[in-house]
Amino acid sequence: MKLNNINIQFGPLMLFLIMLVLVVSTFGFVIRKLLGVERKKWFSYNHLNERHKKLDWSVRIIFTILVLISSYYMIYNDPVSIPLYFKTWFILIVFFITSEMLRAFMEWKYAENKKDFVATIAEMMFMISIVFLTITTDFFGLFNI
């Protein structure tokens, strides 16, 4: 498929994404096993208390609004002249970091097992490293972009 003169092959892309999910899942499993903490369920909120739930939903709503504003701004302006902080991918990365830091803080403050926050921070740092590595190496050279 051609998209803006970029040749994207979906087979290698899907295989790459599956491999990334496996690497991240394995890291999460190992780090939680080493620290002796329960693993989190995928795609669940896992709020520790009502305060965490309210703060988490506030962060989600704020970032949803920011993504909508960013999308509108990117559609109606020249993509080259858009500042970094208006780009949707940047906002999503900041959302991920903010959300995980909120989770780590709430785990540090309220969780029964105080090692939960260490596992959350380790997983977040690993994910940031993987995303940074993937971006800086052009998907490890898989795509001729």
How confident is the model at residue 87, as a pLDDT? 86
Q: What is the pLDDT of residue 7?
A: 55
Helix (H, G, I), strand (E, B) or coil at 119: helix
Q: Residue range 116-127: average pLDDT?
A: 94
Is the C-alpha dihedral spanning 52, 120, 129, 9 positive or negative? negative
Residue type, 135: I
The answer to whether the CB of 67 falls within 8 A of the CB of 91 is: yes
CA dist 91 and 66 (Å) reads: 7
Tens-digit pLDDT profile for residues 75-99: 888 878 888 888 888 999 999 999 9
**Rounded to two decimals, what is the model's pTM?**
0.81
Q: How far apart are CA 63 and CA 83, in angstroms?
A: 17
Interval 12-71: pLDDT, tens: 778 888 998 899 999 999 999 999 998 777 666 788 899 999 999 999 999 999 999 998
Which pLDDT score, from 0 to 100, does residue 6 have? 52
Please tell me the distance from the alpha carbon of residue 79 to that of residue 56, in angstroms, as a whole number. 31
The one-letter code for the residue type at 118 is: V
The CA-atom distances, in angstroms, between 73 and each of 1, 77, 81, 107, 140 are 26, 6, 11, 36, 30
CA–chain centroid gap for 63, Å, is 13
pLDDT at 144 over 80: no
In which band, very low, low, confident or very high, does the pLDDT at 134 lie, cut at 50, 70 and 90?
confident
Between the two ends of the chain, the Cα-to-Cα distance in Å is 13
Which pLDDT tens digit goes with each residue over 59-76?
999 999 999 999 888 888
Residue 124's pLDDT band (boundaries 50, 70, 90)?
Answer: very high
8 A C-beta contact, residue 16 and residue 130: no
Q: Which alpha helices (H) appear in the chain, and where do they start and end? A: 10-35, 50-75, 88-110, 116-136
